[in-house]
Amino acid sequence: MTFLKRYLIPRLFQYILVIWLGITIVFLIPRLIPNDPVMRMISEMRARGSTLEPGAMDGIIADLTEMYGLEGSWLDQYWAFWGRLFHGDFGVSFFQFPTRVNQLVATAMPWTLGLLLTTTAITTIVGNIVGGLAGYYSRKAWSRILDTIAMVIRPLPYYIFAFSLLLLFASTLVFRWFPLTGGASLGVLPSFTWAYIKDVIWHSFLPALSLTVLGGAITFQTMKLIVQNVNAESYVQYAKLGGVTEGRIVGKYVIRNALLPQITGLALSLGQIFSGALITEIVYGYPGLGGLLYRAIVNGDYNLIMGITVFAIVGISTAMLIVDLTYPLFDPRVRYY
């Protein structure tokens, strides 16, 4: 009961508050952009040579405004949006009419999740293990070389590093080992076969490499610094003086304790990791949420922007909540009651 009052209920309230604030902010931002999707569609109709009487044009504008949920003031649209959201309905896409937002997000979501989950797992496991060993053996030459490489790579923005790999390994300038764009070869139907899986891996290698190397550099350097601090603790020195084997000291005393801050850091950096994945997808033309969100912003597609960001806000907030609730499993010293 104490756990419910002191931690779970306040944490769930914070979870709901973050989601509400995030969705509200994202609802307002597209409407501050001077890009009216209805008038944009009317302009495209006129550019294609469509001519209508003024009365008919007014009727089309009214119908489009009603269909896209843009009637009334912002407050009216806000309440109408929450009403649709509780029913899981984000409406239709503006620039891919009449396709519904739910369908577009459901098509792009598996690509982003597959790329994001795979690279995050590899980055977390490899970065922490290699960073932990480099921190413990910080005087070794290989540790210093890896640290130098990480210092060079870490400040690079996602799009710069992704574009560099694209020029190096996918263009005709140097090599052409990987495709320039896409998630699979044109004309290949999705199927659970080794040929299709191999084709998807081939197309996703460079996007995954971009996220893994940049994320791994950050994880490596952070873990190395934490391990160096843990290695200077008195209990580690006592273990060395007591004749405990070095392998046991590294695995059980040093890296294991250094992982605890990394778990918290992973939860806090999920938003940055997700945004990096979206930017990387745009650079590589990967068929995930990144390119879909970019096209939605360019075309002023309010409904599609809201659909993607709502899934992102809820997903990241839920992941952070799960990490918070499961943290005592990793650190027995932490208790929520």
Residue 299 has a pLDDT of 76
Residue 178 has a pLDDT of 72
For residue 177, what are the contacts with CB-CB under 8 A and spacing of at least 6? 169, 170
* Residue 319 pLDDT greater than 60, yes or no: yes
> Which range among 37-41, 196-200, 217-221, 302-306 has the greatest average pLDDT?
217-221
- Beta-carbon-side half-sphere exposure of residue 190 (alpha carbons within 13 Å): 4
Residues 225-248 have pLDDT tens digits of 888 888 877 887 787 777 777 778
Q: How confident is the model at residue 64 (pLDDT cuts 50, 70, 90)?
A: low
Q: Which residue has the tokens 């009637």?
A: 71
CA distance 301 to 303: 6
Torsion of CA 39, 40, 41, 44, to 10 degrees: 120
Domains and CATH numbers, the chain: 2-86 (no CATH), 101-298 (1.10.3720.10)
Six token digits for residue 253: 């005393």
Residues 134-191 have pLDDT tens digits of 888 888 888 889 888 888 888 888 878 888 887 777 665 556 677 777 777 776 766 7
Indicate the length of the chain as a whole number: 337
For residue 3, the tally of other CB atoms under 10 A from its CB is: 11
CA distance 134 to 128: 10
Residue 43 has a pLDDT of 66
Q: Which of 40-49, 67-76, 224-233 has the lowest mean pLDDT?
A: 40-49
Residues 260-290 have pLDDT tens digits of 788 777 777 777 777 778 888 888 888 888 8
Six token digits for residue 191: 């199927």
Max CA pair span of the chain: 92
